[in-house]
């Protein structure tokens, strides 16, 4: 442990904290003095660091240990584990990797290993796993995210890049000074702004929204939940049927067009394909004009409400925010393409405070004015294996070896998968239709997980390698999405025999003769210094001076100063689209994309359209409800679900489900009652909470409860027992958790 005369620090996706330690035990975390709006989430770790859920030694599932790879995969999740030494575990893993490589090739190893793991630039579990596997010939990988796969694939065709414009979202300062109307599809959910990937220094979303409100910006919250925009704003609330935003946007676009409120000059200079889109809007192809009345029927809003909003959007200096949740629904490409089209029709893209933004407060970093810096990371090496899957196709991969899938204009095959390795993610949290996934999960010969707690992933593995948490190792929080760089101090010795992911791979690499290739002769601390020094040199070219390593360690944190003026997304393009073209084939905003049209996909044609979702209120039976399973406010995904902060919100031990009073009365349900939410895919238990602040016909249950199956029912309330597992479209193949119909009955 590092000798230091300052208070210990730690950083996490949900905030930075000071750490109190007594006798090698963490006794408390204290909020970081720079953070005026700290998150309570972090405090959830203290009680569970050494609790009964902690994995203390390498463990192997009984049948696998006795019978070898491929034995009784269907018993995963039900069988006991046997403790082994690290030497035994390393040998078992090395032998199994050699067997799979020799008999089937490296593509038989699936290590897409999606997930958030912990903050820290060096001990990033996925990077460690991938670098190690690249040293032994590679693995089948995954592309894109669960967060916004549909946008990650469609928006580059429309704007040239998605992530580039996510990072350069127009900052809250510019919104306060120049916007007058903020129209938020999917709200501006403060609960989500608690998080920023890779480490949060100070939380800015509440202050950003408040400053805009004080400056006179009016907010429209378009969401099934009133709470998606903080109450203090008193926002106007429109609650269309879930998964119908694309229709609403088309109705708004039609109103602009039919009333001549669109900006023809902007469309002419900065976009291509508007005519193709207007012929669709006018119904030239299908005989259906996409009028406000047409949209009103689909969204179940009043047509006058839609027309009035369109007129106000044209009259005001308007910012459109399109939330990431809108990608996590069937045809999730469409609301993003439609929102960009709508913003282009308003002609305010690239001007201060207006235009379009992707998901304000989906994380703390959206709208946070910061320099764009390119820090070094732990190099993953090169993967010689070309095979990949779109990340949310994991069940299909396991079910359907040799089967084919479409993705972004090409067709690919699912490789035969023999070994699955997860480090730093929890598929029993993030994937849809978990009961189906669990059946497919029985198929591979071997499943290995690096985990620190006995969650469903660990329980459903064959070999469990116990890893440390950030409080048991040193690292640096150094995310380009946050201005604070924080020394993450080792606070206590590793619990039990837990090892850092890096150390775990060092052990297996030694067993396989690739230790030196994996480490390049550097220790963990030497790697961290290397990351710091390379980053320091890189950012100095942008005029940013970072302290040297020793001064940084002495002070514990450093804040990069913000840019001199607010960030304005697409400012350069607006100033001169010939000099600063977009990265699209035309260099312009592609309202119609020839490229996508040529892919010939029925479920994603060449411009924004409305397509009926797989499941939505428009096709619901009389007793079906639309289930929104959104992000939890008391934790990040499944992390720390077992800790006191999360448990305090769940007095009866099961997750809460929020329902409108009319829907509760129709089912004779009352507050506090335990119910069964169910459909043909499965069920979960939940405790009823009744509120007027949710659209009738919709229920809301947060994700994050640890999957605890009793047959097809999750006893703890994991909504992914219910969600459908299907791609958004042949273009992006993103997940569609938010398009889900269920029934609710008393348990």
Q: Catalogue the active-site residues.
A: 114, 116
How is residue 554 annotated by DSSP? H
Closest CA to 138 of 465, 430, 415, 522: 415
Sole residue written with tokens 């979202």: 169
**Binding residue (CB under 6 A) for ligand MGD from 11, 630, 646, 729:** 630
**Binding residue (CB under 6 A) for ligand MGD from 228, 472, 708, 725:** 228
From residue 411 to residue 450, the character string flagging contacts with ligand MGD as x (rule: CB under 6 A) and all else as - is ------------xxxx--xx-------------------x
SS3 readout for 316-329: CCEEEEECHHHHCC
Looking at beta carbons only, is 147 or 720 nearer to Mo ion?
147
- Binding part of the chain for ligand MGD, among 19-27, 179-187, 396-404, 440-448 by CB under 6 A, reads 179-187
Closest CB 146 distance from Mo ion, rounded Å: 5
Closest CB 361 distance from Mo ion, rounded Å: 14
- Binding part of the chain for ligand MGD, among 45-53, 88-96, 183-191, 578-586 by CB under 6 A, reads 183-191
- Binding part of the chain for Mo ion, among 88-96, 143-151, 312-320, 359-367 by CB under 5 A, reads 143-151
**DSSP codes joined into one string, 247-267:** HHHHHHHHHHHHTT-S-HHHH
Looking at beta carbons only, is 636 or 740 nearer to Mo ion?
636
Establish if 453 lies at the interface with ligand MGD (CB under 6 A).
yes
- Binding part of the chain for ligand MGD, among 358-366, 371-379, 527-535, 657-665 by CB under 6 A, reads 358-366
Structure tokens at 359: 């998901």
Reported in sequence order, the residue ranges of 440-508 that DSSP labels E, i.e. its strands, are 446-451, 463-466, 475-477, 484-488
Partner residues linked to 700 by β-bridges:
628, 658
Looking at beta carbons only, is 16 or 147 nearer to Mo ion?
147
Looking at beta carbons only, is 109 or 272 nearer to ligand MGD?
109
Looking at beta carbons only, is 272 or 488 nearer to ligand MGD?
488
Establish if 451 lies at the interface with ligand MGD (CB under 6 A).
yes
Partner residues linked to 710 by β-bridges:
713
Cα 614 from Cα 612, distance rounded (Å) = 7
**Interface with ligand MGD in residues 194-213 (CB under 6 A):** 194-195
- Binding part of the chain for Mo ion, among 141-149, 184-192, 449-457, 594-602 by CB under 5 A, reads 141-149
From residue 12 to residue 51, the character string flagging contacts with ligand MGD as x (rule: CB under 6 A) and all else as - is ----------------------------------------
Under 8 Å CB-to-CB from 77, ≥6 apart: which residues? 438, 456, 459, 460, 709
Establish if 323 lies at the interface with ligand MGD (CB under 6 A).
yes
**Binding residue (CB under 5 A) for Mo ion from 12, 16, 147, 728:** 147
- Binding part of the chain for ligand MGD, among 104-112, 373-381, 595-603, 627-635 by CB under 6 A, reads 627-635
Yes or no: say if 273 and 607 are a contact pair by the CB < 8 Å rule: yes
From the CB of residue 630, how many other CB atoms can be counted at a distance below 10 Å? 24
Q: Choose the contact partner of 702 out of Mo ion, ligand MGD, none; CB within 5 to 8 A by kind.
A: none
From residue 365 to residue 404, the character string flagging contacts with ligand MGD as x (rule: CB under 6 A) and all else as - is ----------------------------------------
CA distances from 456 to 53, 348, 453, 645 (A): 11, 48, 9, 20
**Interface with ligand MGD in residues 640-699 (CB under 6 A):** none
Q: Choose the contact partner of 141 out of Mo ion, ligand MGD, none; CB within 5 to 8 A by kind.
A: none
Which contacts of 584-589 are long-range, i.e. CB under 8 A and separated by 24 or more positions?
584/156, 584/157, 584/158, 584/159, 584/160, 586/272, 588/270, 588/271, 588/272, 589/158, 589/159, 589/270, 589/271, 589/272, 589/340, 589/344, 589/349
Looking at beta carbons only, is 149 or 339 nearer to Mo ion?
149
Q: Which residues of 209-232 are buried (b: 16+ CB within 10 A; e: fewer)?
A: bebbbeeebbbbbbbbbbbbbbee
Structure tokens at 708: 């605890």
**Interface with Mo ion in residues 354-393 (CB under 5 A):** none
Yes or no: say if 119 and 201 are a contact pair by the CB < 8 Å rule: no
Under 8 Å CB-to-CB from 673, ≥6 apart: which residues? 687, 688, 746
Closest CB 362 distance from ligand MGD, rounded Å: 4
Looking at beta carbons only, is 32 or 592 nearer to ligand MGD?
32
Looking at beta carbons only, is 307 or 633 nearer to Mo ion?
633
**Binding residue (CB under 6 A) for ligand MGD from 256, 362, 732, 742:** 362
Q: Choose the contact partner of 316 out of Mo ion, ligand MGD, none; CB within 5 to 8 A by kind.
A: none
Establish if 326 lies at the interface with ligand MGD (CB under 6 A).
yes
Structure tokens at 709: 């199956």
**Interface with ligand MGD in residues 691-730 (CB under 6 A):** 703, 719-720, 723
Sole residue written with tokens 């575990």: 89
From residue 692 to residue 711, the character string flagging contacts with Mo ion as x (rule: CB under 5 A) and all else as - is --------------------
Structure tokens at 374: 């390119």
Cα 741 from Cα 677, distance rounded (Å) = 10
Yes or no: say if 385 and 217 are a contact pair by the CB < 8 Å rule: no
Closest CA to 448 of 725, 700, 76, 153: 76
Q: Which residues of 27-40 are buried (b: 16+ CB within 10 A; e: fewer)?
A: eebebbeebebbbe
- Binding part of the chain for ligand MGD, among 89-97, 110-118, 260-268, 649-657 by CB under 6 A, reads 110-118
How is residue 636 annotated by DSSP? B
Looking at beta carbons only, is 278 or 703 nearer to ligand MGD?
703
Closest CB 65 distance from ligand MGD, rounded Å: 21
Closest CB 189 distance from Mo ion, rounded Å: 13
**Binding residue (CB under 6 A) for ligand MGD from 180, 638, 646, 721:** 638
Closest CA to 249 of 183, 187, 347, 315: 183
Structure tokens at 626: 């639309």
**Interface with ligand MGD in residues 138-177 (CB under 6 A):** 146-147
Cα 293 from Cα 725, distance rounded (Å) = 32
Closest CB 430 distance from Mo ion, rounded Å: 8
Structure tokens at 346: 């308003």
From residue 69 to residue 108, the character string flagging contacts with ligand MGD as x (rule: CB under 6 A) and all else as - is ----------------------------------------
Number of residues that bind ligand MGD (CB under 6 A): 64
Q: Which residues bind ligand MGD (CB under 6 A)?
A: 114-118, 123, 125, 146-147, 185-187, 189, 191-192, 194-195, 222-225, 228, 242-243, 245, 323-326, 328-329, 359, 362-363, 423-426, 429-430, 450-453, 455, 457, 467, 501, 628-633, 636-639, 703, 719-720, 723, 737-738
Q: Which residues bind Mo ion (CB under 5 A)?
A: 147
């Amino acid at each position: 442990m590092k000798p230091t005369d300052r208070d210990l620090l730690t950083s996490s996706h949900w905030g930075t904290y000071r750490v109190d330690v007594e006798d090698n035990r963490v006794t408390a975390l204290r909020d970081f003095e720079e953070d005026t709006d700290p998150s309570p989430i972090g405090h959830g770790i203290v009680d569970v660091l050494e609790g009964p859920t902690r994995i203390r030694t390498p463990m192997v599932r009984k049948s696998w240990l006795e019978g070898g790879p491929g034995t009784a995969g269907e018993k995963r999740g039900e069988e006991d584990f046997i403790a082994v030494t690290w030497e035994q575990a390393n040998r078992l893993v090395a032998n199994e990797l050699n067997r799979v490589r020799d008999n089937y090739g490296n593509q038989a190893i699936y290590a897409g290993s999606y997930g958030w793991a912990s903050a820290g630039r060096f001990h990033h579990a996925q990077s460690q796993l991938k670098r190690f596997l690249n040293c032994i010939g590679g693995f089948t990988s995954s592309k894109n995210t669960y967060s916004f796969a549909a946008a990650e694939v469609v928006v580059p065709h429309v704007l040239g890049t998605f992530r580039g414009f996510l990072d350069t979202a127009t900052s809250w300062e510019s919104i306060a000074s120049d916007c007058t109307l903020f129209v938020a599809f999917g709200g501006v959910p403060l609960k989500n702004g608690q998080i920023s990937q890779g480490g949060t220094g100070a939380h800015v979303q509440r202050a950003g929204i408040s400053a805009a409100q004080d400056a006179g910006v009016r907010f429209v919250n378009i969401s099934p939940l009133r709470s998606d925009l903080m109450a203090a704003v008193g926002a106007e609330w429109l609650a269309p049927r879930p998964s119908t935003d694309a229709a609403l946007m088309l109705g708004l676009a039609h109103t602009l067009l039919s009333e001549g409120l669109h900006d023809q000059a902007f469309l002419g200079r900065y976009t291509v394909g508007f005519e193709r889109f207007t012929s669709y809007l006018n119904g030239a192809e299908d005989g259906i004009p996409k009028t406000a009345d047409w949209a009103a029927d689909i969204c179940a809003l009043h047509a006058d409400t839609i027309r009035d909003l369109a007129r106000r959007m044209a009259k005001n200096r308007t910012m459109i925010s399109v939330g990431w949740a809108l990608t996590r629904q069937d045809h999730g490409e469409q609301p993003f393409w439609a929102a960009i089209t709508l913003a282009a029709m308003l002609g305010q893209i690239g001007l201060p405070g207006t235009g379009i933004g992707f998901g304000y407060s989906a994380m703390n970093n959206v709208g946070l004015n910061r320099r764009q810096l390119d820090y070094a990371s732990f190099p993953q090496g090169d993967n010689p294996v070309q095979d990949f899957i779109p990340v949310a196709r994991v069940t299909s991969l396991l079910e359907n070896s040799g089967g084919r899938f479409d993705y972004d204009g090409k067709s690919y095959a699912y490789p035969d998968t023999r070994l699955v390795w997860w480090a730093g993610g929890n598929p029993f949290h993030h994937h849809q239709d978990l009961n189906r996934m669990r059946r497919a999960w029985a198929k591979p010969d071997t499943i290995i997980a690096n985990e620190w707690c006995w969650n469903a992933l660990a329980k459903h593995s064959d070999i469990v390698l116990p890893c440390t948490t950030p409080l048991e190792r040193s690292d640096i929080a150094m995310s380009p999405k946050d201005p604070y760089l924080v020394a993450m101090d080792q606070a206590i010795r590793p619990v039990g025999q837990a090892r850092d992911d890096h150390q775990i791979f060092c052990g297996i690499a030694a067993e396989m003769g690739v230790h030196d290739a994996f480490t390049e002769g550097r220790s963990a601390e030497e790697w961290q210094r290397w990351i710091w020094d390379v980053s320091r040199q890189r950012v100095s070219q942008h005029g940013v001076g970072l302290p040297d390593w020793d001064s940084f360690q002495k002070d514990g944190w450093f804040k990069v100063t913000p840019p001199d003026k607010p960030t304005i997304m697409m400012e350069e393009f607006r100033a001169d689209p010939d000099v600063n073209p977009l990265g699209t084939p035309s260099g312009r905003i592609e309202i119609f994309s020839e490229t996508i049209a040529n892919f010939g996909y029925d479920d994603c044609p060449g411009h924004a359209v409305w397509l009926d979702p797989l499941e939505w209120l428009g096709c619901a039976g009389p007793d079906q409800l639309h289930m929104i399973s959104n992000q939890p406010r008391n934790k990040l995904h499944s992390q720390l679900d077992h800790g006191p902060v999360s448990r305090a919100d769940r007095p009866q031990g099961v997750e809460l489900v929020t329902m409108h009073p009319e829907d509760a009365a129709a089912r004779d349900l009352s507050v506090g009652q335990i119910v069964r939410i169910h459909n043909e895919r499965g069920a979960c238990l939940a405790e009823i909470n009744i509120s007027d602040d949710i659209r009738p016909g919709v229920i809301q249950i947060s994700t994050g409860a640890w999957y605890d199956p009793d047959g097809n029912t999750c006893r703890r309330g994991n909504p992914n027992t219910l969600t459908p597992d299907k791609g958004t479209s042949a273009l992006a193949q993103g997940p569609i958790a938010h398009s889900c119909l269920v029934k609710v009955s008393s348990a």
